Amino acid sequence: MAQWRETLVMPKDSMSSKHDIAQQADISFLEAHMKPRRVQRIRQVAESRQRGLAIIMEDVWNPHNLAAIARSADAFGIQHIHYTTAENYFDPTQIGKASSSGANKWIDFHYHEDIADCIEALQREGWFVAATVMTPEARSIYDVDWPQYERVAVLMGNEHDGLSARAIDKADMHIIIPMRGMVQSFNVSVATAITIAEITRQRDISEKDFRLPEAEAQVLYETFIRKAY
């Protein structure tokens, strides 16, 4: 790729930056200027993304926690994270890069101003929202038959106060992670990782195929190629 940049001659008024080239060039052109192993890895990741599994995080205080969640989301093949912030808006793709180990580059973040509106919008699209909260009716994540839900959004509370009463009320189900210690809580990024790991485990052994449809995987692959270039 470095050699190509040295030899390519471009008119001054044409695409002048690497970003412009990545966004406008044909995918075959970009693939030709990347290492085959890199291209193969990108395709493998895109085709391994799960359909119908997302994360919602309410009122993030520390952007680095959201970045850590993004790292787990990427590892388990989750593409979409919805979030609201406790204070000012921030761009997760620009903050917390170290905490995410670069995973935030590959995740689609969706910012919402209001958590209730966020939940209701997803529910209208057919998403089943499971809130992680300790209530009398909360079910263990290990007792839920996750593959029965075609679209699941895991709702996580913030680092200080957990989920708001509005978010808890809007959720379709309450879930908990069984614990055996004196402290009855996990760090939010750890709790997220444990929850989506169990959902993914059940999906992997189910008869259903939770991979993205071929056309969606191809679109995501091309998006990743442009980001990787």
How many other C-beta atoms are found inside a 10 Å radius of the C-beta of residue 9? 4
pLDDT at residue number 101: 55
Four-point Cα dihedral 97, 103, 108, 111, nearest 10: -40
With bands split at pLDDT 50, 70 and 90, how would you rate the model's confidence at 10?
very low
Residue bearing the bigger pLDDT, 128 or 184: 128
Q: Is the pLDDT of residue 161 over 90?
A: no
The token pair that represents 11 in the structure block:
């008119």
- Rounded Cα–Cα distance for residues 161 and 84 (Å): 14
Q: Which among 107, 76, 77 has a CA at the least distance from the CA of 91?
A: 107
Q: Give the chain's length.
A: 229
> Which pTM does this prediction carry?
0.86
SS (H, E, C) 106-153: HCEEEECCCHHHHHHHHHHCCCEEEEECCCCCCEECCCCCHHHCCCEE
Q: Is the pLDDT of residue 5 over 50?
A: no
pLDDT at residue number 98: 53
pLDDT per position as a tens digit, 15-51: 457 777 778 889 999 999 999 999 999 999 999 999 9
- Rounded Cα–Cα distance for residues 1 and 94 (Å): 25
- Rounded Cα–Cα distance for residues 133 and 155 (Å): 9
- Rounded Cα–Cα distance for residues 129 and 120 (Å): 9
pLDDT per position as a tens digit, 132-154: 999 999 999 999 999 999 999 99
pLDDT per position as a tens digit, 67-76: 999 999 999 9
Domains of the chain: 51-205 (3.40.1280.10)
Asked whether the CA dihedral 133, 100, 160, 87 is positive or negative, the reply is: negative
